[in-house]
Structure 1
Amino acid sequence: MERGGQEPPPPAAQQIEADDETALVIKPRKKRGNSDLASAGFNIINSIIGSGIIGLPYSMKQAGFPLGVLLLFGVAYITDYSIILLIKGGNLSSTSTYQELVKKTYGLIGYLILSTLQFLYPFIVEPGNVLTDRHFIILFTTIIFTLPISLYHDIAKLGKVSLISLILTIVILVIVMVRTVTFSPQVPKSENAWIFAKSNAVQAIGVMSFAFICHHNSFLIYGSLEEPTLNNWSRITHVSVSLAVIISVVFAACGYMTFAEYTEGDIFENYCRDDNLATFGRFCYGVTVILTFPLECFVTREVFANVFFHGNLSTIFHIIVTVIIVAVATAISLVYDCLGIVLELNGVLSATPLVFIIPTACYLRLSEERWNHSDNIISCLILAVGALVMTVGFVLTILHPQECSHGKEMFYCFPSNVSFHNSTLPP
């Protein structure tokens, strides 16, 4: 018993304390992680550009190239802002997971909605088309690579894996840039390919949100830090998102400039089958997806553990749940390969709530600042934009679904057809 008759707080209780720069820090209930800032940054970048980047040229086609570039920067800013907002919300509510944060602010209903979104989102990131015999390649790579990496218990161990994925993404970017110079003249263009804005801009935001989402594993990465402070997290987030948006804008611009109005949801569908450089790019992309999926698997497994096992999985259940998650994701990738509409629907129904709506709604519920504080105003604006994108984007996607040409050789791969298409394009 201390002086004054007050008992000391329980040693297992979470406390919020300020560091030298008044940044809040959460003391995890378990020991602190062993991930340095660089490893955590690689995990964030990998989560952003590991799989969704493939659809960004398609988002330029949907929005119009100039508007698309502006929207991409806008989504990147919102991503950066809302990731930091999530951790602020965790500090304010003394919670250390996305699910705990939502449960504390919006009760069981909010908890179940978030858990459903987090559980379902990762199933889209398995590879859809890697090489010619996609079924064999998907099964082989899943068993040999994806499953063993997904069985890791510590997300900090994925830092080096994410670095490899980032290097391969840069290789893919170089391939796309080279083909912009060497292959673009072979693809006919129409004048309306460069108009400022198009009617499908809202769906484009959904595709971009899908590409940039990393909120579902932000608490996991934050908790893996050796020094989990808000200042450290803000620095990691700013650098990671900045690098990701640079890569994304260059990739989206080069991909769209090459194929313009013929751009597919999967940019590699646009390249000819006998293009060896593009085939190598497909292979690199398949590897990046293999290296990205374990990050998503961590989230799905954590959601399952929190909902059914109070956050603790024994070793045997850890293995069983991981195998089931990987098996279901692989099965989905084997039976469905039309990426465009999947990106749009997953973007507006899953990514948009996780990026725009839920982080801001939680912060607004917890914030003790005056109503006109900048964080509150910006949060309200992001929340309103998210609700608009989710509603309008879903309606437009259902009313005007995009055609899928998966597996078809594009007409410009046959030189005899190019002159015919050139003659039929509007002046």
Structure 2
Amino acid sequence: MEASCGSISAERGWLVSAQQPEEAAAEELSPLLSNELHRQVSPGVSFGFSVFNLMNAIMGSGILGLAYVMANTGILGFSFLLLMVALLGSYSVHLLLSMCIQTAMSSYLLIIKTELPAAISEFLTGDYSGSWYLDGQTLLIIICVGIVFPLALLPKIGFLGYTSSLSFFFMVFFALVIIIKKWAIPCPLTLNHTEEFFQISNATDDCKPKLFHFSKESAYAIPTMAFSFLCHTSILPIYCELQSPSKKRMQNVTNTAIALSFLIYFISALFGYLTFYDKVESELLQGYSKYLPHDVVVMTVKLCILFAVLLTVPLIHFPARKALMMMFFSNFPFSWILHSLITLVLNIIILLLAIYVPDIRNVFGVVGASTSTCLIFVFPGLFYLKLSREDFLSWKKLGAFVLLISGILLGNFSLALIVFDWINK
């Protein structure tokens, strides 16, 4: 295959550029590839904006489910699993970049559907039930038409750097509020109903964090974490528009984005868990709506996190559209009509899924155990084993093999437990 990374930027798929590896090309792009790349995307996207774009691809609705995961794995169990997934995710990106050089959007909208009406209602006084602006499906359609679709039409991923940086600061604000509000909600938990407080539990053990804890709900741990670190479909589009692109530079972008995402994930999950303990909701914001209704700071952070999640959707659109263009229209010249039609079809599909999926935990579980594990573990390992000419006993091939087997085992095991949990319910 003769397609370069530059041709990916011109409506190619995220792994078209893979060729047989050569040691001499292990660190930098060839002059021909570099010249073509600069000709198409010059002057390129800065390191900082590339980090923001990748973090935006990583962080999204997954941050709302990690406190629930910690409640079902314990603090130390969660820490080990999250670190393992982060490191394996970084290594799988390393394999993808090696191959390049050598040659679930629905969950985000589901958060909008469930949380935006609740956020709006908290700003209102009186009974406005039945109003169109409190209907999640109506709001979702308006947002998709007015915001998601126009942003998704942008031809280059670098243009989203500004929105991605804004999304990052919203996530940081979310983590800070989770920390602060830990001391605003007493334990044992109490509900304020008609100016009377009802204590949920008298057990002091409910207010003690568990270092290790495993239950049937722990089956959602690895899938949710894998979903939370899924960014691999955006790696090559971001790489192709990176300023002064090289393997080392893009790997640094990846490591920085994953490290910052890990930090924000861990802090928000830890303090979310230490706030609600075993009563933490599968979608963290729902707990604050229950125990701190009409709190101004909580209402503000809800709007911020909803906006941050919303800004992630166009970024995820980009590689999805590229893949469809590669599979069905790779021999056609670029056309704004075709570009717009594919973007519209993708918007309609994810909108329908977001409308009819009832529980965000189901998305985290099923998508995480199937698609996310394949994209993070299985496919990078499988492609490297297939395309590399290195000896099978080389460290990279052994690492790719371990990544492949780990992904298959973890994905199938988690999916089996999740299905078993559904059957029992």
Distance 1:202 1:181 in 2: 30
Deviation of residue 206 (structure 1)? 0.8
Deviation of residue 66 (structure 1)? 1.6
What is the TM-score when the length of structure 1 is the normalising length? 0.79
Deviation of residue 191 (structure 1)? 7.3
Distance 2:94 2:268 in 1: 26
1:256-405 alignment runs, 5 A limit = 256-273=273-290, 274-276=293-295, 277-310=297-330, 312-401=333-422
C-alpha RMSD of the superposition: 2.8
Any conservation in 1 of the 2:57–2:315 contact (CA below 8 Å)? yes
Deviation of residue 21 (structure 1)? 10
Distance 1:89 1:83 in 2: 10
SS of 2:29's partner is strand
Distance 1:208 1:71 in 2: 8
Tell me the residue number matched to 1:58.
68
Tell me the residue number matched to 2:107.
124
Mean Cα deviation higher: 200-209 or 273-282: 273-282
Equivalent of residue 148 in structure 2, options 139, 143, 146: 146
SS of 1:185's partner is coil
SS of 1:24's partner is coil
Between the two proteins, what is the percent identity of the paired residues? 22
Tell me the residue number matched to 2:210.
194
Tell me the residue number matched to 1:173.
175
Any conservation in 2 of the 1:72–1:208 contact (CA below 8 Å)? yes
What is the TM-score when the length of structure 2 is the normalising length? 0.79
Tell me the residue number matched to 2:198.
none
Distance 1:267 1:313 in 2: 42
Relative distance call for 1:197 and 1:24 in structure 2 (3 A) is farther
Deviation of residue 340 (structure 1)? 1.1
**Which whole-Å deviations, capped at 9, do the CAs of 1:232-278 have from their partners, x for residues lacking one?**
11111111111111111101111111112222221111123524232
Relative distance call for 1:385 and 1:17 in structure 2 (3 A) is closer
Distance 1:224 1:174 in 2: 32
SS of 1:183's partner is coil
Any conservation in 1 of the 2:207–2:277 contact (CA below 8 Å)? no
Tell me the residue number matched to 1:224.
241
Any conservation in 2 of the 1:216–1:299 contact (CA below 8 Å)? yes
**Which whole-Å deviations, capped at 9, do the CAs of 1:218-245 have from their partners, x for residues lacking one?**
1111111122210111111111111111
Distance 1:54 1:16 in 2: 41
Tell me the residue number matched to 2:251.
234
Deviation of residue 201 (structure 1)? 4.0
**Which whole-Å deviations, capped at 9, do the CAs of 1:77-129 have from their partners, x for residues lacking one?**
1111111210102233x2xxxxxxxxxxxxxxxxxxxxxxxxxx333322422
**Which whole-Å deviations, capped at 9, do the CAs of 1:312-347 have from their partners, x for residues lacking one?**
541012112212212222232223241112211110
Any conservation in 1 of the 2:152–2:314 contact (CA below 8 Å)? yes
Mean Cα deviation higher: 298-307 or 266-275: 266-275
Relative distance call for 1:135 and 1:186 in structure 2 (3 A) is farther
Tell me the residue number matched to 2:93.
83
SS of 1:227's partner is coil
Equivalent of residue 24 in structure 1, options 12, 28, 31: 28
Amino acid at match of 1:130: E
Deviation of residue 151 (structure 1)? 0.9
SS of 2:403's partner is helix
Any conservation in 2 of the 1:83–1:218 contact (CA below 8 Å)? yes
Deviation of residue 22 (structure 1)? 5.8
Distance 2:382 2:21 in 1: 24
Q: Does 1:37 align with 2:47?
A: yes
Distance 1:377 1:393 in 2: 24
Relative distance call for 1:184 and 1:162 in structure 2 (3 A) is farther
Mean Cα deviation higher: 303-312 or 285-294: 303-312
Tell me the residue number matched to 1:118.
none
Deviation of residue 401 (structure 1)? 3.2
Equivalent of residue 206 in structure 1, options 207, 214, 223: 223
Amino acid at match of 1:391: N
Matched positions, count: 366
Distance 2:27 2:209 in 1: 48
Structure 2's unaligned 5+ residue stretches are 1-5, 8-16, 119-133, 190-200
Amino acid at match of 1:125: Y
